[in-house]
A = this chain, B = another copy of it.
Amino acid sequence: MVRKNAFYAQSGGVSAVINASACGVLQTARRHSETIGKVYAGRNGIVGALAEDLIDTSVESEAAIAALRHTPGAAFGSCRYKLGSIDQDRGQYERLIEVFRAHEIGFFFYNGGGDSQDTAYKVSQLGAELAYPIICIGIPKTIDNDLPITDCSPGFGSAAKYVATALREAAFDVTAMSRTSTKVFTLEVMGRHAGWTTAACALAAEHEGDAPHILLLPEVTFDERRFLAKVEETLARHDHCVIAVSEGIKRPDGEFLSASGLQDSFGHAQLGGVAPLISNLISTKLGCRCHWAVPDYLQRSARHIASETDVQQAYAVGRAAVEFGIAGRSAVMPAIRRLSDAPYRWDIIAAPLAEVANQEKLLPRDFIREDGFGITDAARCYLAPLIAGEAYPPFKNGLPDYVKLQNLAVPKKLTTEAAF
């Protein structure tokens, strides 16, 4: 195999462990310098390739690369940018090839969720369609856990551990306050279509009656009457009620609850926030004091409370991507295969990108309790190992000590500029 350079980029919403995958890619590539020359990272994902804005990772020290394993965010920048089909966006694909050819890139590693795997799949077709052979590997990443084939997606376990921890801690707060103050607490969780992260909140409960008392999953249509009855029943039994709500719950008419036209005092439509809506509904209809929290980005960047299992898997899919590439495999994504629940064992297999792209894995029906407000034992059994283990970052002056890379630009070789 002729030695070629590699392109690596991070795409979509970031996570606590996407940089652990980068660490796996870069450390493994460095061990295989006979096959992979330099690894160029795209500055802000695929946008960096289109703009010929490449980062030379070879100047980073071993220590800096190792520190990626404990650093959240996306070290090279990410993007929300979806390429169309090769037919539609032929110009962009030709531009990609131009950049790849100029920088002798023979490996394409794309680290992201469903849309990103779709991009990776399209790039993998470039060889046949546009006569530029390139080995193309997708690397899974999404806190939403909605990628198919892989048993779970790196990023999810840490977000799950964060929300379950936060919910358990907030429940200690509400339990203490409910006698004379707040009786209902609502935690809003990310996951617009798939309820995996909301479901993970249920791990906070150890015993009957423990919080959360109600989950509002995006897979279950929101029914105001049934919901309020459940809140009342919970209050009657426990004097407090803790709710985890997905940002993506929908009304019976199929509309997102969050799209329901909040207006602020400036007269502007209000951005998002299902938890305040739910909270307001309860305080108005049931007359009790409510609190709510929307952790938003905090839940997907909380590297300080990452799952060790998740960190290991994120690293492993990065390493496997390079190993697949060196073995000459293309158009695949390293996927996690569960071998057993307890003890939890897993390995990595190759999932064809054609089968991964544009598929969304929702919470299966048998993971959702019959009343729709909770999860089943099967779900707990699936979720439990994914949050196992702590993987604390180093701390300096009382705060996590995360790395910022130099991110030096590779000198441009092309005279043409893309419109970025």
Within 8 A of B (CB), among A379-420: 384, 387-390, 392, 395, 397-400, 402
Q: How far is the CA of A358 from the CA of B179 in the complex (A)?
A: 24
Q: How far is the CA of A204 from the CA of B260 in the complex (A)?
A: 35
Asked whether, in the complex, the Cβ of B293 is within 8 Å of the Cβ of A176, the reply is: no
Which of A84-92, A102-110, A284-292, A316-324 contacts the other chain?
A284-292
CB < 8 Å neighbour of A173 from B73, B262, B290: B73
Asked whether, in the complex, the Cβ of B292 is within 8 Å of the Cβ of A73, the reply is: no
CB < 8 Å neighbour of A73 from B13, B172, B265, B293: B172
Are A271 and B265 CB-contacts (below 8 A) given A177-B14, A307-B398, A399-B164?
no
CB < 8 Å neighbour of A296 from B45, B168, B292: B292
Q: How far is the CA of A73 from the CA of B388 in the complex (A)?
A: 24
CB of A174, distance to nearest CB on chain B (Å) = 7
- B-side contacts of A169, CB under 8 Å: 16, 72-73, 297-298, 301-304, 400
Q: How far is the CA of A305 from the CA of B261 in the complex (A)?
A: 36
Asked whether, in the complex, the Cβ of A268 is within 8 Å of the Cβ of B297, the reply is: no
- B-side contacts of A284, CB under 8 Å: 266, 268
Asked whether, in the complex, the Cβ of A80 is within 8 Å of the Cβ of B181, the reply is: yes
CB of A213, distance to nearest CB on chain B (Å) = 16
Q: How many residues of A contact B (CB 8 A)?
A: 85
- B-side contacts of A170, CB under 8 Å: 296-298, 301
* Binary contact track A5-43/B, C-beta < 8 Å → 1, others 0: 000001001101000000000000000000000000001
Residue ID in chain B nearest A177 by CB atoms: B78
Asked if A250 is an interface residue, CB under 8 A from chain B, the answer is: no
- B-side contacts of A261, CB under 8 Å: 265
Which of A127-135, A275-283, A325-333, A361-369 contacts the other chain?
A275-283
Using CB atoms and an 8 Å cutoff, list the residues of chain A in contact with chain B: 10, 13-14, 16, 43-45, 47, 71-75, 77-81, 161, 164-166, 168-170, 172-177, 179-181, 185, 203-204, 260-266, 268-273, 276-277, 279-281, 283-284, 290-298, 300-305, 307, 384, 387-390, 392, 395, 397-400, 402
Question: Can you list 5 contacts pairing A with B, beta carbon distance less than 8 Å?
Answer: A44-B180, A77-B175, A170-B301, A262-B262, A271-B283
